[in-house]
Amino acid sequence: MLQVVSELKIEHESNTFGIPKQIVIYDKETLFDRQAWEGLKFPVIAKPLVADGSAKSHKMALVFNHDGLDNLKPPIVLQEFVNHGGVIFKVYVVGGYVKCVKRKSLPDVSEEEKLGSLDGLMSFSQISNLANNERTDDKYYKMMQLDDTEMPPQSFITDIARGLQQAMKLNLFNFDVIRDARFGNRYLIIDINYFPGYAKMPGYETLLTDFFCDIVQKKEKDGVESTGLDSYEVLSCDDEVRKIVSCDGDDGGDLNIEEENPIQV
């Protein structure tokens, strides 16, 4: 569903956005067909085409060369890996609310690493989980200060979120954004998650409660207007209901460990 990004008509005075180059591979024959790879260069991220929320659907690999293709099982999506400073921006959308947080991601890949990988690939689950599970002692992360990473302009991210919301007709989703290290003002959307987890979004309890209460109120109001019954009693989510939940969520730069369904095509 990433093609929806290419259809957005959003202009910003100093920033641009798009998606990485990618292809869908349905069988082994196409996987090793060099012509099918035209325009796509190593390293690439290999993502399962399935999006059912299972552990298998989160299993990905960073492929450095053709030797790494032997361990891949189609159908998969191959997406060009773009160096992005080891930081990924996760954007949560809840109705009219848009929240952008930053997380640790895959480290940049040097030319030496592209050529010197013995196995040809490195497997992992979700991109923002890699450091937590497999790279905690990496010097790269010891040197990197997540707090020093500049956030994308909020108005820019909000415009993209609104465009996706209208195009997909969804009110609950999130998407992953990286900043292209080659161009400081170029952003790439690498995933859209249509059934995301919100446990790591700051203040998610209050936001989700307000969102669902507003939906109930709107439906009940529409029901009254359509029936024309003046005496119809509307049972709504009042302030007391909204106070039940707290708003103490704190992202704090932690890694993302929530379950998500990635839409990768």
pLDDT digit string, tens, across residues 110-160: 877 765 565 788 887 655 555 444 444 455 454 556 778 899 999 999 999
- Domain positions in the chain: 3-202+250-263, 206-243
DSSP at 175: E
Q: How far apart are CA 216 and CA 95, in angstroms?
A: 13
pLDDT digit string, tens, across residues 10-48: 988 899 999 999 999 999 999 988 888 878 999 999 999
What values do phi and psi take at 205, rounded to 5?
-60, -50
For 119-185, list the strands marked E by DSSP.
121-124, 172-179
Please report, in range form, the residues annotated as the binding site for Mg(2+): 176, 191, 193
Domain 3-202+250-263 listed as CATH 3.90.100.10: no
Closest C-alpha to 64, from 47, 31, 41, 87 = 41
Give the SS3 label for residue 92. Answer: strand
* Contact (CB, 8 A) for 175 and 193: yes
pLDDT at 114: 67
Please report, in range form, the residues annotated as the binding site: 176, 191, 193
Return mean pLDDT, the chain.
78
